[in-house]
Amino acid sequence: MTRPAWALSVTDLFTIGIGPSSSHTVGPMRAAVHFAEQAASYGEPSRVICKLYGSLALTGKGHTTDTAILVGLSGWLPDRIDPEAIAPLVTEIRATQSLKLAGLYDIAFDPETDLQFMMGEFLPQHSNGMVFEATYPHGKPFTATYFSIGGGAITGDTVVAQSSNIALPYPYTSGAELLAICAAENLSIAEVVARNELAFRAEAETTAFIDQVREAMMASIKRGVSLEGVLPGGLNVKRRAKAMKERLEERGPRIDPSHIFEWVSLYALAVNEENAAGGRVVTAPTNGAAGVLPAVIKYYETFVPGATKEGSRTLLMTAAAIGFLYKTNASISAAEMGCQGEVGVACSMAAAGLCAALGGTPGQIENAAEIGMEHNLGLTCDPIGGLVQVPCIERNTMGAIKAINATYLALNGDGNHIVSLDAVIETMRQTGEDMRAKYKETSLGGLAVNVVEC
């Protein structure tokens, strides 16, 4: 799959949306909205069908891709719809066998026949493929193909990147180039990102967006630790965050190192239980890895003496800089890279961000990012039942802890190290390409077939 050729912004990397999957829920919902608006511009269709291919077909029902398509065709974007409104809307569509296309035209739509899972069929460009077609009483049908390439981003022959003509003051496509810019201009990595963002919008708007992302992350932790019950999907996975929080609070002051370890795990657990339930989370860089960055930010703000709001902004901006490198040179799609492209990338981003917030040099930050990925290489994506639950939820706790460990390892060095971030990103890309398809979000191998669903 061709990587993004346009300039990347923090708004491309962080998206406030809904669970459980950025590539299987957020991306397809955006594609459906895009198609619905275009189809409606030609008039009222007599029929609309959608065909899902590759990983979207094989694990789509577990990832609620079918729900995402129905909601998207109805005109709702992931950051606009209330998660609580989704189930009633889908129930009504299935009961009436009709939907309001793009919020404009009432059309017949039977999910059993008009939403087709093309099991075992893959489009050559990407594992997450979708083909939509609208037919009209008079005139030619309108067809559009989309690919959900990770993190909620979509490409297709009718999709035009809004930032395709943006010229950045400090463009970079490698870690080496980024470090060279920092040295030549005497800028931190976060400052390089901030200056590049000026090509998209005013500084105050970017700051407001970063603050909004942080608030949404903290809100997902807060909601995640407040709820009980069983997660949807049929695996009967119980929410654990609320009970875990209560047990930790009973232990008193957070001074024991193992206590801190457990709190960080709790933060990540809470976010990904919320994601699995279809709640509001931030793709960072994906939904399957949505708990890593929030947990590390919460660690910084709770346990690091002298933590500041500006430090949290630096953390997120620096994390974005590293995320851009993965999106440009490899992929953040588990359907292409396995989970090394999701939790692995999130761990790398979080390690870099925390290192920056703690005063690390650009060299130490690059080292932290490299360590974060190096020890996630080869991580497969084999969700049981096609659900973002097992092993995904616990995997985020491991990613958060690894990120913190990577930060302090890097801070104990001077930034010089054997393996560069660029080398580890290229290794991840090669590993992902060599990884068999059954280990890349298809639920055809690994834990998905060796653990009996109950």
| pLDDT tens digits, 152-195 | 999 987 776 555 578 999 999 999 999 999 999 999 999 999 99
**pLDDT for the residue numbered 162:** 54
Helices 203-224 & 309-329, crossing angle to 10 degrees?
100
Q: What is the pLDDT of residue 45?
A: 96
Task: Tell whether the model's pLDDT for residue 453 goes beyond 60.
Answer: no
**Residue 254's pLDDT band (boundaries 50, 70, 90)?**
low
Report whether 310 contacts 101 (CB < 8 A): no
- Of the candidate CATH numbers 1.20.120, 1.10.10, 2.60.40, 1.10.4100, the domain formed by 175-199+201-449 belongs to 1.10.4100
Question: Is-contact 32 90, C-beta < 8 A?
Answer: no
Its sign, for the CA torsion 432, 437, 442, 446, is negative
Q: What number of residues does the chain have?
A: 454
Cis-peptide, bond into residue 391, ω within 30° of zero: yes
**Least confidently predicted of 39-53, 163-177, 357-371, 397-411:** 163-177
The pLDDT of 246-262, averaged and rounded, is 84
| Per-residue pLDDT tens over the stretch 323-357 | 999 999 999 999 999 999 999 999 999 999 999 99
Contacts of 277 by beta carbon, 8 Å cutoff, 6+ apart: 19, 20, 227, 231, 232, 239
Neighbours of 25 (CB within 10 A): 29
CA distances from 305 to 229, 253, 301, 302 (A): 35, 15, 8, 8
Question: CB neighbours (10 Å) of residue 308?
Answer: 12
Q: Mind listing the pLDDT tens digit for each residue in 72-96? A: 999 999 999 999 999 999 999 999 9
Topology match between the domains 10-156 and 175-199+201-449 = no
Say what the pLDDT of residue 4 is.
45
For 243, other C-beta atoms within 10 Å of its C-beta total 12
How far is Cα 312 from Cα 272, in angstroms, rounded to an integer? 21
Question: Dihedrals φ, ψ of 307, to 5°?
Answer: -60, 140
Chain position carrying tokens 């942080």: 214
Give dist(CA 356, CA 221) in Å, integer.
Answer: 23
pLDDT bin (cut points 50, 70, 90) of residue 257 is confident
Share the mean pLDDT of the chain.
94
Q: Which of 3-7, 36-40, 237-241, 274-278 has the lowest mean pLDDT?
A: 3-7
Look up residue 214 and give its two tokens: 């942080």
Q: What is the pLDDT of residues 200-216, one digit of tens each?
A: 999 999 999 999 999 99
* Residue found under tokens 């390409």: 433
At 5 the pLDDT is: 45
Give me the amino acid identity at 242: K
Residue 389, CA distances (Å) to 10, 64, 276, 280 in order? 27, 13, 6, 16
Residue 234 pLDDT level (bands cut at 50, 70, 90): very high
- At 2 the pLDDT is 37
Other Cβ atoms closer than 10 A to 116? 15
Percent of the chain with pLDDT over 90: 92
pLDDT in tens, 380-391: 999 999 999 999
CA distances from 91 to 103, 107, 315, 408 (A): 17, 16, 41, 49
CA atoms within 13 Å, Cβ hemisphere of 120: 0
Residue 99 pLDDT more than 50?
A: yes
Question: Does an H or E element contain 130, and which?
Answer: strand 128-135
Reply yes or no: is the peptide bond before residue 20 cis, omega within 30 of 0.
yes
- Look at residue 402 and tell me whether its pLDDT is greater than 60: yes
The full set of domain ranges for the chain reads 10-156, 175-199+201-449
What is d(CA 206, CA 76) in angstroms, rounded to the nearest whole number? 24
Tell the CATH topology of 10-156.
60s Ribosomal Protein L30; Chain: A; (3.30.1330)
Res 1 pLDDT > 70 = no
What DSSP string runs through 352-370?
HHHHHHTT--HHHHHHHHH
